[in-house]
Homo-oligomer: A and B are copies of this chain.
């Protein structure tokens, strides 16, 4: 064996258990140890690493999961992905994530790439409620689950977003708010839609339906929340309670309120969703509906694994919890 430090096994080191050339080198110096161990040691020494591509090619399965997220800079999605990565490892899978930016062309390109890599299965975190893309994807015959957002009857693991909306509504209603507004998120994302529905249903049931003009769509980031809040504050009289379907949007709302000299929890109650780690640390801590992000990711892998074993796939709705803090005014005198 020439100079070592070749990382790729171009010769026949992989056939080391049999009797190819390199066996000579490998077994030279075999000093009583069990061959298998000695082999592993030498392999390590020369920096041999099995070629996963070759293995995948030969076995026609890769144990690779493709994961498509809207954007990993969204804390929630990144947290879900961490759950996915960990659980996948537990199941003996590797994962490959990509950002689709919620853009059809980008998603298409990335999915094609993942198909080219012959992923064994897929997890979509960016489904649109209409389910158009996902429906189409079934044609590939590759098992998949949705996470974070549901679509049609496809197996999915989500937060019980409807219940989350009701929790927020119940809280604001109990505090006496009757004139409320909703920052509703993206119109094609089931999570925002369901949270909004849960919220508005609750108020409608109590005889105080939320006027549609007080429900404004917005992106999940703080800029979207800020903008939406400006719209809400145009109403006369303005709402005394705001439910934002995402914490970043809620913080955007806080920003706009501050600009108008209004304080969250004093002038306007603000409830967010997601319970970001920083929510509790803010100067005015944010009341938020918490959702088990990490678990959501992990459970989606479990569901996928079941599906791949041919077991029936039951969609999962994980339970949200309300975390009451000062931004909804409930702790102030």
Contacts and interface: CB of A to CB of B under 8 A. Distances in A.
Interface size class of A (residues with CB under 8 A): 35 or more
Given A82-B73, A99-B82, A141-B7, A49 B112 contact: yes
Nearest to A253: B281
B51 A281 contact: no
Interface in A281-300: 281-285
A316 interface: no
B51 A116 contact: yes
Contacts of A277: 221-223, 248
A233 to B, nearest CB: 15
A281 B252 contact: yes
Which of A50, A79, A221, A282 has the most chain B CB atoms inside 10 A of its CB? A282
Interface stretch (A33-41, A52-60, A178-186, A206-214): A52-60
Interface string A114-135: 0111100000000000000000
Interface of A: 5, 7-8, 47, 49-54, 56-57, 60, 62, 71-73, 75, 78-79, 81-82, 85, 94, 96-99, 112-113, 115-118, 139-142, 221-223, 225-226, 248, 251-252, 254-255, 258, 263-264, 277-278, 280-285
Q: Would you list the 7 A-B pairs with minimal beta carbon distance, nearest first?
A: A255-B281, A53-B53, A52-B116, A73-B78, A72-B78, A49-B115, A283-B284
